């Protein structure tokens, strides 16, 4: 069955970007209906052309599709099953409140193929290089999917093992107190599922504990909730931290748990986590792109403001 492509009319669905990133200067994202897209400037950079003529071509699709370039793009789209394309992009508002043009992935590939194979009197070096990269990436992804292979699953599994060992080793918190490690479990789970590697050199609860301790003192929370106290904290046997004298970490009065959770989900996630991940990137322990994905994954939604 032929696909009916009416992307331009989807503005009625109030589409919005739910993910916005930039990689090597190419702006891209995912819309609220799951459509992956490039912006005008992202598509122009992918093809190695100026955005102005690209905007003129795509904005006048109703007439351009009958001209030489447009007819080639149209034929390519129809060949891939995208018939009756009304518009080549939709207008959306990005996270900065600025209107941007979102070109869906299949439109981007049809235009890129034109500049790789059909554009006359045009230096297609950049377009061809990007096309080759995309072809290799797509083939690799296809093989992984067909083979049901998940290249980073081993990292996730090992991190889960470490997390479970630490949970079991630190399950005797006295009544009336809470520990940073156990109460940040939601954040830790999101880190693990984002392929963050938990090991002796990556212990995020230390970062959280240090930041919360400073907030505890600065906000004089002891006056409100009572004193914190040091309590034994254990590490897996293969962690170097498990050797030597007994390690201790602060535990806090349970009455402060609500304050901690709000602080963790807002102040720490929004302000301090980026610094922690940036240090991991600088230490070559975490790819920069993965750090960006983690920051997007851990943020919690906010309730709509009451009018």
The verdict on 111 and 161 lying in the same domain is no
Residuewise pLDDT in 10s, the chain (307 residues): 444 444 443 344 468 888 888 887 889 988 888 889 999 999 999 999 999 999 999 999 999 999 999 999 999 999 999 988 999 999 999 888 889 999 999 999 999 999 999 998 899 999 999 999 888 878 877 776 777 766 677 788 888 999 999 999 898 999 999 999 999 998 998 888 888 888 888 889 999 999 999 999 999 999 999 999 999 999 988 888 888 888 999 999 999 999 999 999 999 998 899 899 988 888 888 888 778 878 877 776 555 555 4
Q: Which of 146, 170, 198 is the last residue of a domain?
A: 146
The pLDDT of residue 299 is: 74
Question: What is the number of domains present in the chain?
Answer: 2
The verdict on 134 and 171 lying in the same domain is no
The verdict on 171 and 247 lying in the same domain is yes
The verdict on 127 and 175 lying in the same domain is no
Does residue 157 lie within any of the structural domains?
yes
Does residue 172 lie within any of the structural domains?
yes
The pLDDT of residue 204 is: 92
Domain membership of residue 24 as a residue range: 3-146
d(CA 46, CA 23): 11
| Dihedral Cα 26, 16, 32, 188, nearest 10 deg | 70
The verdict on 89 and 17 lying in the same domain is yes
Does residue 304 lie within any of the structural domains?
no
The verdict on 259 and 185 lying in the same domain is yes
Does residue 307 lie within any of the structural domains?
no
The verdict on 130 and 52 lying in the same domain is yes
Under a CB-based contact definition with an 8 Å cutoff, are residues 24 and 38 in contact? Answer: no
The verdict on 142 and 161 lying in the same domain is no
The pLDDT of residue 306 is: 54
Q: Which of 146, 179, 213 is the last residue of a domain?
A: 146
d(CA 249, CA 245): 13
The verdict on 140 and 170 lying in the same domain is no
The verdict on 197 and 255 lying in the same domain is yes
Beta bridge partners of residue 101, listed in sequence order: 91
Does residue 236 lie within any of the structural domains?
yes
3 state DSSP class of 287: coil
Q: In what order do the strands lie in the sheet with 90-93?
A: 17-23, 26-31, 36-39, 99-104, 90-93
d(CA 53, CA 75): 21
The verdict on 128 and 241 lying in the same domain is no
Q: In terms of DSSP bridges, do strands 177-179 and 229-232 run parallel, antiparallel, or are they unpaired? A: unpaired
CA nearest to 23, candidates 286, 283, 280, 292: 292
Q: Which of 123, 146, 169 is the last residue of a domain?
A: 146
The verdict on 112 and 203 lying in the same domain is no
d(CA 108, CA 58): 11
pTM assigned to the model: 0.52
Instruction: Name the DSSP letter for residue 81.
Output: T
DSSP labels for 161-226? HHHHHHHHHT--PPTTEEEHHHHTHHHHHHHHHTT---BTTB-HHHHHHHHHHHHHHHTTHHHHH-
Does residue 306 lie within any of the structural domains?
no
CA nearest to 92, candidates 151, 154, 30, 49: 30
Does residue 61 lie within any of the structural domains?
yes
Does residue 281 lie within any of the structural domains?
yes
């Amino acid at each position: 069955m032929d696909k009916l492509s009416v992307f331009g009319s989807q503005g009625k669905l109030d589409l919005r970007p739910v993910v916005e990133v930039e990689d090597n200067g190419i702006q891209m994202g995912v819309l609220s209906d799951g459509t992956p897209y490039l912006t005008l400037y992202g598509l122009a950079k992918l093809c190695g052309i100026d955005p102005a003529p690209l905007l003129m071509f795509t904005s006048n699709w109703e007439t351009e599709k009958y001209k030489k370039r447009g007819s080639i793009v149209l034929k390519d789209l129809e060949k891939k099953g995208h018939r009756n394309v009304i518009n080549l992009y939709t207008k959306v508002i990005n996270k900065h409140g600025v209107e941007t043009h979102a070109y869906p992935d299949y439109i981007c590939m049809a235009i890129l193929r034109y500049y790789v194979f059909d554009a006359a009197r045009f230096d297609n070096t950049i377009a061809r290089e990007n096309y080759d990269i995309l072809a290799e990436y797509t083939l690799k992804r296809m093989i992984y999917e067909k083979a049901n292979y998940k290249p980073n699953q081993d990292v996730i599994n090992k991190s889960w093992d470490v997390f479970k060992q630490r949970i079991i080793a630190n399950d005797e918190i006295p009544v009336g107190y809470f520990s940073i490690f156990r109460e940040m479990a939601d954040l830790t789970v999101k880190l693990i599922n984002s392929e963050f590697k938990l090991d002796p050199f990556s212990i995020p609860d230390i970062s959280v504990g240090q930041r919360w301790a400073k907030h505890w003192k600065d906000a004089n929370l002891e006056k409100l909730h009572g004193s914190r106290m040091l309590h034994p904290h254990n590490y897996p046997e293969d962690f170097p931290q498990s050797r030597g004298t007994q390690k201790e970490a602060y535990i806090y009065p349970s009455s402060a748990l609500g304050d901690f959770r709000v602080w963790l989900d807002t102040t720490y996630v929004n302000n301090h986590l980026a610094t922690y991940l940036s240090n991991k990137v600088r230490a070559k322990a975490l790819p920069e792109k993965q750090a960006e994905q983690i920051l997007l994954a851990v943020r919690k939604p906010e309730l709509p403001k009451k009018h």
